[in-house]
Amino acid sequence: MTDLDLTGRTALVTGGAQGLGEGMAQALAANGARVVIADVQDDAGEKVADSLKGDGHGFVHLDVTDEASWENATTAAASDFGGLDILVNNAGVEITSLITEVDPKDIRTMLEVNILGTALGLKWGLRTMRPDGLGGKGGSIINISSVAATIAFPGIPIYSATKSAVDRLTRVAAMESGKLGYGVRINCIYPGLVPTAMGQGLAADMASLGLFGSPEEAVAGVVELTPSGRLGEVSDMADAVVFLASDASRFVNGVGLPVDGGMGM
Ligand X SMILES: NC(=O)c1ccc[n+]([C@@H]2O[C@H](COP(=O)([O-])OP(=O)(O)OC[C@H]3O[C@@H](n4cnc5c(N)ncnc54)[C@H](O)[C@@H]3O)[C@@H](O)[C@H]2O)c1
Tell me whether residue 5 or residue 239 sits nearer to ligand X (CB atom). Answer: 239
Q: Which of 70, 159, 190, 243 is catalytic?
A: 159
Q: Which of 10, 21, 26, 27 binds ligand X (CB under 6 A)?
A: 21
Contact range with ligand X by CB under 6 A, out of 36-44, 126-134, 210-218, 243-251 = 36-44
Give the per-residue SS3 of the chain: CCCCCCCCCEEEEECCCCHHHHHHHHHHHHCCCEEEEEECCHHHHHHHHHHCCCCCCEEEECCCCCHHHHHHHHHHHHHHCCCCCEEEECCCCCCCCCHHHCCHHHHHHHHHHHHHHHHHHHHHHHHHHCCCCCCCCCEEEEEECCHHHCCCCCCCHHHHHHHHHHHHHHHHHHHHHHHCCCCEEEEEEEECCCCCHHHHHHHHHHHHCCCCCCHHHHHHHHHHCCCCCCCCCHHHHHHHHHHHHCHHHCCCCCCEEEECCCCCC
For position 25 contacting ligand X by CB under 6 A, the verdict is no
184 to 243, contacts with ligand X by CB under 6 A? Answer: 191, 193-194, 196-199
For position 18 contacting ligand X by CB under 6 A, the verdict is yes
Size of the site for ligand X (CB under 6 A): 30
Q: Does 190 qualify as catalytic in the annotation? A: no
108 to 127, contacts with ligand X by CB under 6 A? Answer: 113, 117
Residues involved in catalysis = 159
Interface residue list for ligand X (CB under 6 A): 14-15, 17-21, 39-41, 62-65, 90-94, 113, 117, 144, 146, 191, 193-194, 196-199
